[in-house]
Amino acid sequence: MGQRVNEEIPLKTDLLVIGGSGAASNAAVAAAKSGVDVLLVSKGKVGKSGNAIISTSTLSIDGETAYQLGEKKADRSLTKNALFQTIVKASFYLSEQCLVQDFVEDCGKRVHEFLSLARAMGKRVRFLAPSGWITANTTVGAVIREQIRRYPNIKIIEDAMVIDLIRSGDRVNGALALDLYNGKFHVIHAKAVIIASGGFQPYSFKCTSSDSTGDGMAMALRAGAELADMEFQLFLPGVALSPPHLKGSIYPFVWFAARLAQPAINTSSGKSVLESADKNIVSLGKNAKLWKLINLYYWTKEMECEGRPGSEEFYFDFSSVKRLSYLKSLLKMNLLLKMLYKGKWRFGGENIRPFHDMIKQGKPWQVGISSEYCMGGILVDEHMKTTLEGLYACGEAASGLYGAFRVESGLSEMLVQGYRAGAEASKYAKESQESKLDSAYLDKIKEQVSELVKDNLHSGRSSYNVYKLWDELRYVADTGLGLVRNESDSGSALSRVRHIGEEKISGLRVSDRSRHYNSELLNLLQLKNVCLCLQASLMCSMARKESRGTHLRSDHVRVYNADFLHRHVISFKGSSLSLRKRSPDLRFMEPSREVYKNIEEYLKKEFF
């Protein structure tokens, strides 16, 4: 690993990278290669926290490049141009096409670097046609740590939460972090800062890391940067609801998406989810790139037909699957798991045998729809630069690549954007002079944190509890920003989240008065970030009176290219959040300005 810093010494560095997963490590490595000094600060352990290490990891590029890399089973017809078009169309034309072009051009090289290092370390990677690879979650973490270890000019601070950015005029030149174990502050003075801290997932049911609290997005917004596309959340169909100890496992989704023996997808009443679906669209969904979007669309239609728009309960029913077909598929799956995890019946750290015991007993798999990823994030240009001088963002913390729906690998995105952000930010750091820290602003941030642990609860507010407020915000997100939305629910949710922020969270203090390993303080700091990001998301959702990608409105089912072919951008105006419209970059592909009667019609016209 990189050298560990002495917390007692004021910290100066050329480049500060905030995060500890794939985007952050690639940013740090790219910058270190250029010769600048890098400080990487992670809320958890580097390479052992964040979403990149949750389960199996997939990487994908174009088939043309995969073939050139030696994968003779790659589909060469999936050219770079075809990949570009797929991403733009799947984004519903809200992606910044300059970012897509950069991604398509760079992803082959970045993925090749990752695979080469993984294989050199003895890690197992398997090619999956037409143009992707699969590896174990542990491989990602191991590669991240090995990358950083190779560069002595990368220093790290782990288990420290960056609370806020520090500015000098309009330039970001550092940050304040809180050591989660000893409660000390780290004042970090940097020529440039990269936010690679992951996404924002505020829901009660998710299959991802609990670290995804929008910290980077919130601190960028408070500093004066802008967020975009916050209405677009990616949900994953086919996540286990039972047995209880496996709730949240994505194994059922992996089984289904791997095109193994296919179970019927039924509602709780026994109705087939895809029975009335357009067969051409369903066949399009056999392409794994669009599988999530198509299934989410049809699953939600059945939820509404059965009068249960907030329900998440579905069933994978294997009763009609021929036994021989099932056994062959089980053999293939166990061979894959043995390759990835060196033992059958193991998926990540889980024993997945109970799933197959249920099939033996004639029981279906109970599955639901969980939160997976946020397409929204910090507004960046093609250089990964934000609207603030000296501040960059990449990976899930940034926005603009995937628009209304993420069709490609999140890990590929991390590698490409992280490297580009590191290269661009290091250029800026080399060319810029050190600017003076704003000591008054720094003291103000410190005092705000110190106030949270003082015994000075305001009268009438002692009944508020950090953990109860977490539950309340999750409920607000579930009901107002869920997969199916409408004006009434989202409006009520927006009013409620504003009330929670202004009347409950703003005056809340923690009962634990120490800053030493104070989990209550950590939860309160994260709660503030989630509350701010949730407000931004609901504002964007309310403004988009149409359905587009995974933003599904029950009261506005049409896709209005004529009126809504724009991105929603959120910023602070004074003390309040403000929304503006921004036209996406359409330099390579210009969409039709027609109105589609629903998502289904859009997919037909764009992909057939």
pLDDT of residue 256: 86
b/e 548-569 (16+ beta carbons within 10 angstroms → b): bbbbbbbebbbbbbeebbebbb
Determine the angle formed by the axes of helices 519-543 and 487-499, rounding to 10 degrees.
140
Instruction: Indicate the helix (H) or strand (E) that contains 539.
Output: helix 519-543
pLDDT of residue 313: 87
pLDDT at 2 over 60: no
What is d(CA 66, CA 482) in angstroms, rounded to the nearest whole number? 37
What is d(CA 88, CA 584) in angstroms, rounded to the nearest whole number? 11
pLDDT at 309 over 60: no
**439-601: what fold?**
Methane Monooxygenase Hydroxylase; Chain G, domain 1 (1.20.58)
pLDDT at 478 over 70: yes
Q: 221-251, pLDDT tens digit by residue?
A: 999 999 999 999 999 999 999 999 999 999 9
Amino acid identity, position 590: E
Q: 39-79, pLDDT tens digit by residue?
A: 999 999 998 877 766 656 889 999 999 999 999 999 999 99
E strands present in 511-566: 552-553, 559-560
Report CA torsion sign: 548, 553, 559, 561.
negative
Average pLDDT, the chain: 91
Q: 74-128, pLDDT tens digit by residue?
A: 999 999 999 999 999 999 999 999 999 999 999 999 999 999 999 999 999 999 8
Note the pTM of the prediction, 2 decimals.
0.95
Tokens of 552: 């599904």
pLDDT above 90 coverage of the chain, percent: 73
What is the average per-residue pLDDT within 585-592?
95
Q: Where are the domains of the chain?
A: 234-371, 439-601
Query: In this predicted model, which residue has the larger pLDDT, 379 or 206?
Result: 379
CA atoms within 13 A on the CB side of 228: 28
Give yes or no for a contact between 317 and 266, defined as CB atoms under 8 angstroms apart. yes
Amino acid identity, position 439: S
Give 350's strand partners: 347
Q: 384-399, pLDDT tens digit by residue?
A: 999 999 999 999 999 9
Q: Kindly list the distances between the CA atom of residue 310 and the CA atoms of 237, 479, 608, in Å, as whole numbers in the listed order.
A: 14, 7, 32
Give yes or no for a contact between 397 and 533, defined as CB atoms under 8 angstroms apart. no
Q: 534-581, pLDDT tens digit by residue?
A: 999 999 999 999 999 999 999 999 999 999 999 999 999 999 999 999
pLDDT band at 5 (very low <50, low <70, confident <90, very high): very low
pLDDT of residue 6: 46
Q: 393-430, pLDDT tens digit by residue?
A: 999 999 999 999 999 989 999 999 999 999 999 999 99
Closest CA to 83 of 64, 110, 98: 64
pLDDT of residue 321: 96
pLDDT band at 4 (very low <50, low <70, confident <90, very high): very low
Query: In this predicted model, which residue has the larger pLDDT, 457 or 380?
Result: 380
Enter the DSSP assignment of 513: -
What is the average per-residue pLDDT within 457-476?
77
What is the average per-residue pLDDT within 353-367?
96
Q: 336-348, pLDDT tens digit by residue?
A: 888 888 877 888 7
Give yes or no for a contact between 452 and 461, defined as CB atoms under 8 angstroms apart. no
What is d(CA 570, CA 394) in angstroms, rounded to the nearest whole number? 18
